[in-house]
Structure 1
Amino acid sequence: MLVFSIKCWNCRSSNDPKCADPFDNSTVPITDCKQEKGLSHLPGVRPSMCRKIRQKVNGEWRYFRDCAYLGEVGIQGDERFCLMRTGTYNIFIEYCTCNSKDGCNGSSALNPLSLIFVLSASAILKWLF
């Protein structure tokens, strides 16, 4: 079995404001994901990616960066793109995963307008064909 190892930034903006964007890693630890203990509800699953979660709840932005256990890199394998979700009660979540290099969950690689353009173009193409 191939063992994949990646190092990811590990922080929460609630504990360290430098974890937010723009990201400042001067006080943020980088974690070797192969050293993570694992999760009790996912026995045998090891982290193989980095993640960055940006969420807005009732007007307040929160950022989380750490090792990722499940999911797919980016959207259809392109880590320049992040999954975005909105919900009721003024909730917005952007979930980004990457594995291209150590510390890849440091900064945003994508302009949100680019994602809107790509998603809009995809929807138009599906509608036409």
Structure 2
Amino acid sequence: MTLFKGNVIIFTAFVLFVCCIEQGLSIKCWVCRSDSDPKCADPFDNSTLPITDCKQAEDLEHLPGVRPTMCRKIRQKVHGEWRYFRGCAFMGEPGIMGDERFCLMRTGSYNIFMEYCTCNSKDGCNSGTIGQSSWLLCLVTGILTLGYYLVAFE
């Protein structure tokens, strides 16, 4: 019975590793600016735009050693004109308090509005509607499964 218990634990750990491996890999994001490419605006049209692997992004001089781990979409309105910027994000957290459904909004004087949306739930998540991250579900499932087998086979 002990050999079976060990095999179940190893199998569970392997399944969880495979489920969660996407979190450790580089993310791919859409990189464009609507002021130079109108298809970058909303509604987003990526039909002629290749997706960019963020591990290929150049280092930023003011952030030595920091690599991009998320995608970002910035929507800004300056003097009545909307602009969109999509790219790899080097800092911050996905969404607001980890919830990618929400974006950080800022307003300023002189008719300026900005919205920052960051995500890392899947490649190309900065295309428009931002999806949910599954890492928490993976972690909870793993803990519950492992706990079940430890209690069931003691």
Q: TM-score, normalised by structure 1?
A: 0.81
Q: Would you say 1:102 and 2:106 are equivalent positions? A: no
- Among candidates 32, 48, 68, match of residue 47 of structure 1: 68
Q: Is the 8 A contact 1:11 1:29 kept in 2?
A: no
Pick one of 36, 54, 64 that aligns with 1:15: 36
- The alignment-based identity, stated in percent, is 77
CA displacement 1:26-68 (0-9 Å, x = unmatched): 1222110011111011000000000000000000000000000
**Which residue in the other structure is 2:91 paired with?**
70
Match of 2:52 among 31, 47, 51: 31
Is the 8 Å Cα contact of residues 119 and 130 (structure 2) preserved in structure 1? no
Aligned-CA RMSD value:
1.6
- Which is richer in strand? 1
The count of aligned residue pairs is: 109
Looking at structure 2, the residues matched to 45 and 88 of structure 1 have their Cα atoms a distance apart, in angstroms, of 32
Runs of 4+ in 1 over 4 A off after TM superposition: none
Deviation per CA, 1:54-95: give whole Å up to 9, x if none. Answer: 000000000000000001110010001000000000000000
5+ unaligned residues in a row in structure 2: which ranges?
A: 1-22, 132-154
Q: Which residue of 2 aligns with 1:60?
A: 81
Is 2:92 the counterpart of 1:80? no
Deviates more, 1:29-38 or 1:91-100: 29-38
Larger Rg: 2
Where does structure 1 lack aligned partners over 5 or more consecutive residues? 111-129
Q: Where is the helix percentage greater, Structure 1 or Structure 2?
A: 2
